[in-house]
Structure 1
Amino acid sequence: MDMRPPEAPYYLAGGNEVALFEQCHARQLAVMLKGPTGCGKTRFVEYMAWKLGRPLITIACHDDLSASDLIGRFLIGHEGTLWQDGPLTRAVRSGAICYLDEIVEARQDTVVVLHPLTDHRRILPIDKTGEVLAAAPGFQLVVSYNPGYQRMLKDMKPSTRQRFVALDFDFPPPERECDIVQREGGIERAQAHALVTLAQRLRTLQERGLAEVPSTRLLIAAARLIGSGIPVREACNSAIIAPLSDDGPLLGAMRDLLDATLI
């Protein structure tokens, strides 16, 4: 049975990442996607799940994510105590692609439960029930993270990193980014070009202390506002510049670049 939605998620490949992912899936290899925020990692996973005809279970990682949140827990109900599978266990049972977004945000004691699924064993021990669950055919573990956020206490251990095949992502070249913004934002080519030009200029401010540069995702948000009738400057201020910083001088520099771009 084909589990794909009728229409493919829009994804414009930037290299050989589609073929690499397909080979990893066929050979039961776990995959790590590395790249800045908003550069298309999540959309890529959605597209590959569609292309491979596999269900996709996505988990947003955070500091409070526990092993029980992934694997499952006992719940007390009217009929007594019942076991409820967590999202990782559901993916293992059903042969889904399990995508852990921003894996470094999770605690290390949570991440280690993934280890038996990333080597030849492909098993998930469930200590609370005593079950050792073998991954169903089609199961694949995919994680993502933003190397720009790496810190001493927010990084993957080498013992974890080396269990994954790494695919590097970055913002698309200008012409391809224009294609994406025009298609996803529903605006004219000239407007998409102006947004991409602005992003290219704003990204140079990283050397001046801008922690996060504008992502393709932010450009699409601005494009959708423009397409709905919001004036271009207002859309850019609200969707691109304001989310990036609260620092007065940096905001002033970004607005100067906005004015220079829209002349």
Structure 2
Amino acid sequence: MLLDHFRYAAFRRRMQWAIGWVLLLAALPAAHAAEPAAPLPAAEAAPRTVLVMGDSLSAGYGMAAAESWVALLADRLAASYTDWRVVNASISGETTAGGSSRITAEVLRHRPAVVVIALGANDGLRGLPVREMRRNLARMIGASQHAGAEVLLVGMRMPPNLGTEYTRDFEALYRELADFFDVPLLPFLLEPIALERDAFQDDNLHPTPAAQARLRDHVWTTLEPLLQQQ
């Protein structure tokens, strides 16, 4: 009987030890679940976007894409305003009608904080009516503002051979639109180089790669305050 008692006691201790391990293992998932979850790393804020809607003067006609004033602007932002990026939606040959037809899709796609509208040169070279150009640019500004973006309007000037009245009305419409929509205006994109023949390619219309940094700096004077307001 005594031997049976010791055998039973040993068996009971082994069972208690085994049951203890089972209970411990069963409790581990619950204990783990009760621990507060480690906080997820904070998501990096998405960069804000400057959307440029222009023509060949902004698309970098006759040069590598990285040489255009818009690409140089992107480089400057990458160095000084790291939470900003540039999307260049400029197309060579674009008119204000083309920009007007594209603006809604572009602002919905890129959700820009700032839209730079630099169109009109091709309208003027083709002698298109100023009233149509005014309507197209007004639609672009309105659509951009409706999407919550600030707008920088970049103007253009036409040579006097198109007629005094047309040249005057063409230049004036940019000021009128800027006043009406209360947006900043850079009156003439090519102002820093307009009188320098060596700053233009052989067609005497498109600036050379060497002139692009000066155009970027010219735009920067009016663009940077918009970035700082955001």
| Structure with the bigger percentage of strand | 1
What's the TM-score, normalizing by structure 2? 0.37
TM-score w.r.t. length of structure 1:
0.33
Higher-helix-fraction structure: 2
**The structure with more radius of gyration:** 2
